[in-house]
């Protein structure tokens, strides 16, 4: 694989145009997590998703990493289920965390990948094995970085605002 600015732009367009598949999955994941954690979570629209894709790909250092993982998962197909299961799970989890952002969001994105992954069902004979994990990763990563969760709407009570003794 060779990554160029053109390759990154191609993957950006593919991810952006995937809204019709990813946004319903984002909202399904959010509904599932909201039920599990007794929380109210805002839904995501296609426009919100596309704006966030724009933001991810506007950061060149982030964009090249996201594009590489997307391209690999789009093409990944391993003969036999188990070997493919391991590698596409690994790559999907890393993609979700990369999209989600710095800690703790990166870890939450990785954890949420597994929730999204069990909601995606594809025919492995009809498409590349990595595509279902790619959709799960996109949904997990973007749902994590997008607003809608009450706990992300306020300042953390754990931030240290003042240093003792005026230091």
- Write the DSSP symbol of residue 101: -
With beta carbons less than 8 A apart as the criterion, state whether 126 and 84 touch. Answer: no
Q: pLDDT digit string (tens) for 83-135? A: 657 888 999 999 999 999 999 999 999 999 999 999 987 665 666 778 889 99
Q: What are phi and psi of 149, to 5 degrees?
A: -95, 130
Domain boundaries, the chain: 5-151
In a 3-state reduction of DSSP, which class is residue 149? strand
- Which residues sit opposite 146 in a β-bridge? none
Query: Which residues are CB-neighbours of 87 under 8 A, at least 6 positions away?
Result: 76, 78
What pTM, to 2 d.p., does this model score? 0.90
The full length of the chain comes to: 167
* Average pLDDT of span 41-56: 97
pLDDT category of residue 32 using cuts at 50, 70 and 90: very high
Q: Taking 80 as the threshold, does the pLDDT of residue 81 lie above it?
A: no
């Amino acid at each position: 694989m060779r990554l160029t600015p053109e390759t990154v732009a191609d993957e950006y367009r593919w991810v952006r145009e995937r809204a019709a598949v990813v946004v319903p999955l984002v909202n399904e994941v959010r509904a599932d997590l909201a039920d599990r954690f007794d929380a109210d979570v805002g839904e995501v629209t296609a426009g919100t998703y596309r704006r966030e894709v724009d933001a991810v790909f506007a950061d060149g250092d982030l964009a090249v990493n996201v594009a590489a993982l997307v391209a690999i998962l789009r093409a990944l197909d391993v003969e036999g289920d188990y070997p493919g299961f391991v590698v596409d799970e690994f790559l999907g989890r890393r993609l979700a965390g990369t999209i989600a952002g710095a800690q703790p969001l990166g870890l939450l994105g990785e954890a949420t990948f597994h929730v999204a992954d069990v909601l995606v069902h594809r025919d492995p004979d009809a498409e590349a094995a990595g595509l279902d994990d790619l959709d799960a990763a996109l949904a997990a990563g973007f749902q994590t970085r997008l607003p809608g969760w009450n706990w992300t709407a306020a300042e953390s009570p754990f931030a240290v605002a003042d240093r003792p003794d005026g230091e």
